[in-house]
Amino acid sequence: MTLHADDYTAQRSRYDSMTYRRCGASGLDLPAVSLGLWHNFGDDVPLERQRATLRRAFDLGVTHFDLANNYGPPYGSAERNFGTIFAQDFRRYRDELILSTKAGYDMWPGPYGQGGGSRKYLLSSLDQSLQRMGVDYVDIFYSHRFDDTTPLEETMGALDTAVRQGKALYVGISSYSGSRTQEAVRILRDLGTPLLIHQPSYSMLNRWVEEDLLDVLGVEGVGCIAFSPLAQGMLTDKYLKGIPAGSRAAQGKSLDPKMLDETALKHVRALNRIAKARGQSLAQLALAWVLRDERVTSVLIGASSVEQLEDSLGALDNLAFDDTELAKVDQHAVDAGINIWKTSSTS
């Protein structure tokens, strides 16, 4: 079927099957599965494929689309492409959507565009993001990483300003350690802008958040949205027999082929057998496992096709685990050295 702009009407049944969870101690609900536009929404992917994925996601109750200033390639293209599709398909549904963006990594030339947590960089980046997306505000604006060269008070103060300017409804942080998260909570609370949500990497092969971060989020009433719950694609059936052409590993997109050694794949194949015993795909098992913890509000998935999107959403059909299943998973849910955001989360 050929897709045309301006002919999209959302399905009336879009809220019938999605599970929504309350985000920490706030009044905001998020879908248990949210769509991340990190990959597959840059200029290297046809716009019509992007449009089909976004339409199908919303038709299935995915109300949260997550972006960042440097998503692409090239930088900024994911926001720009989303803005094109938003204007044509989703503007009339704006009040049904949660849109988020982030700033923290290098974005434009010169000393003020190299990333970090300065007030200058964060607020300038947010203005640019709003322009690319063609919206007046985002629902959530994140500090994308902890910056140890900038006072945390300055970074959190910039987030507070974004809310007071009406350019963001809520604020979040990403890849902050447990102790830094506690500091951020305190600073924002004193400013009068509560920290809504933390976005950490979390998967069966990357469990660093279990050390103390989840405890901090639970105590402080901060939501959690896990990115890379499929371990950059390792927790899918894609790599069970090697590295296929066109895959993220083959393209050098955040997954180093060296991570796919025989030791890691042995555990992945064992997890795949557990998934089959549950009547799930490996990806569905991985998503359900992250969602087993009530402190996790949502998981962020990427999708290169409508079929991949639908498979991931199938995880919601079976979120329950018994103790025996969890024990079996624990034997193979081991660190695979894939936390490429470790510098930020351990500072």
Q: Which two tokens stand for residue 263?
A: 């030791």
Between 270 and 254, residue with greater pLDDT = 270
Lowest mean pLDDT: which of 87-101, 123-137, 185-199, 247-261?
A: 247-261
Instruction: Say whether pLDDT at 253 is over 90.
Output: no
pLDDT of residue 261: 79
CB 301 within 8 A of CB 36: yes
Instruction: Say whether pLDDT at 231 is over 80.
Output: yes
Contacts of 75 (CB under 8 A, 6+ apart): 69, 107, 108
Lowest mean pLDDT: which of 96-100, 111-115, 322-326, 339-343?
A: 339-343
Instruction: Say whether pLDDT at 171 is over 70.
Output: yes
* Region 250-275 average pLDDT: 78
pLDDT of residue 247: 54
Closest residue by Cα to residue 21 from 79, 63, 66:
63
pLDDT of residue 251: 52
pLDDT of residue 239: 78
pLDDT of residue 238: 79
Instruction: Say whether pLDDT at 3 is over 60.
Output: no
Instruction: Say whether pLDDT at 139 is over 70.
Output: yes
Helix (H, G, I), strand (E, B) or coil at 145: coil
Residue 228 to residue 253: CA distance in whole angstroms: 13
* Region 179-195 average pLDDT: 98
pLDDT of residue 23: 98
The DSSP output letter for 92 is: G
Radius of gyration of the chain (CA): 19
pLDDT of residue 254: 54
The DSSP output letter for 102 is: E
pLDDT of residue 347: 82
pLDDT tens per residue across span 23-72: 999 999 999 999 999 999 999 999 999 999 999 999 999 999 999 999 99
Name the pLDDT band for 252 (thresholds 50, 70, 90).
low
pLDDT of residue 28: 98
